Amino acid sequence: MDNRCPNCGGPIENGKCAYCGASVAQPTPTYAPAPEPNYSQAYAQPQPVVVNNYPSQQSTKSKTTALLLAIFLGYFGIHRFYVGKVGTGIIWLLTWGVFGIGWIVDIIMIATGSFNDNHGLSLR
């Protein structure tokens, strides 16, 4: 914001130049207030998968495919990438299935039906 008179360059006090007395309209500051944060988006729950216009309580991922991937490529965490658990898939990849223990646990969990996809839905 310029506090000088456009005519003589003198200081402006109360909308008038202190030296030449010229009336100077001071621009009003324009700003947009910061938008309010929408906390509901940060804590949104995953929505169920909709199949044929009906919400499904099952994942679109196959239990059989996940089990086969876990048995043959479980050390690399490929089954976790398949169901959308990318973070733990990377951990499995770097630690050889968390030293083989996590690999065996995942095979048992998939076989018994207690393994879920990244949205918490059971595999079909």
Tens-place pLDDT, residues 63-119: 999 999 999 999 999 999 999 999 999 999 999 998 999 999 999 999 999 999 998
pTM of the model: 0.56
Provide the pLDDT for residue 29.
62
Provide the pLDDT for residue 5.
79
d(CA 79, CA 60): 14
Q: How far is CA 45 from CA 37, 48, 86, in A?
A: 18, 9, 18
Does residue 56 have a pLDDT over 70? no
Does residue 54 have a pLDDT over 60? no
d(CA 46, CA 117): 11
Does residue 62 have a pLDDT over 80? yes
